[in-house]
Amino acid sequence: MKKSIFFAICIALSSCYVLPKKNKLYQSFTSIDIGVIGKQEKTLRESDFKIVGIPNYENKIRLSAVIVDFDKSNFKSYKKYLSSTSKTTLVNEFIDSISQKPKYVELEILDKVQVVKTLNKNNKDILKYLRRTPENTIITKLKFVADKTLLKNIKNANVFYLQTAADKKQQFLKLFKDTELIASLNMSLLQSFQYDVSSFCWEISEKKSTTLVTILDEGELCKNGTVRNPNKAIDKKIKKFDF
């Protein structure tokens, strides 16, 4: 009896640190860039990402790019995306029984540490805004459809980066074969039909100053003394010592 209670307590405690990982990404109704910051607004029937900041990634951010076969669910999502945009259809049909299926690309931020460094160093205005609105998130994963030329370049490349243009107005996907740049593409041209977001964790010093320290998936909680909402945590500290 005591053992069963002990195990039940262990399970309950472990569940406090790990949230269920969602299986599906968010549906996109417009082309969206990886690395942008905004608020995920949800209703009963759909979700929508409202962009509030476009960081300047002066230094390249390492990405992963994987080519994947379409399935029924993803093709349905792609068609839903097309119905709300003026983009040209790149995949006209999906037949499950055919072995040679159309492809899409999964693009994901690998180097989240570099993202944090860049936000802390080169994006002071965005960082200030994030402190005030900790519910905002960052897009860290995309599913998009590529034309034949881009798909071929992705197959040939082995290193992928996100970098902001020199005018600081647009994000670019850069494809390298080892150290050779083989393609550079404006991210706004991608047909991104699904996306995923990550949240920020903050560290609070003894003097109540805040520092952005990590980026975590939606299914994770802030650890090692870091917090999701620095303003709320500071208020708690003030009340604790307010006699």
Note the pLDDT tens digit of each residue in 169-222: 789 999 999 999 999 999 989 999 999 999 999 998 777 788 999 999 987 899
Res 6 pLDDT > 60:
no
Stretch among 79-83, 94-98, 238-242 having the lowest mean pLDDT: 238-242
- The mean predicted confidence, pLDDT, of the chain is 85
Q: What is the pLDDT of residue 103?
A: 95
Q: Are 115 and 164 contacting, i.e. CB atoms less than 8 angstroms apart?
A: no
User: In b/e form, how buried is each residue of 100-136, taking b as 16+ CB within 10 angstroms?
Assistant: ebbbbbbbebebbebbbebbeebbeebbeebbeebeb
Q: How many residues does the chain have?
A: 243
Res 46 pLDDT > 70:
no
Note the pLDDT tens digit of each residue in 112-153: 999 999 999 989 999 999 999 988 999 999 999 999 999 999
The pTM score is 0.84
| Across 42-63, average pLDDT | 86
| Across 85-97, average pLDDT | 90
Domain map (residue ranges) of the chain:
22-198
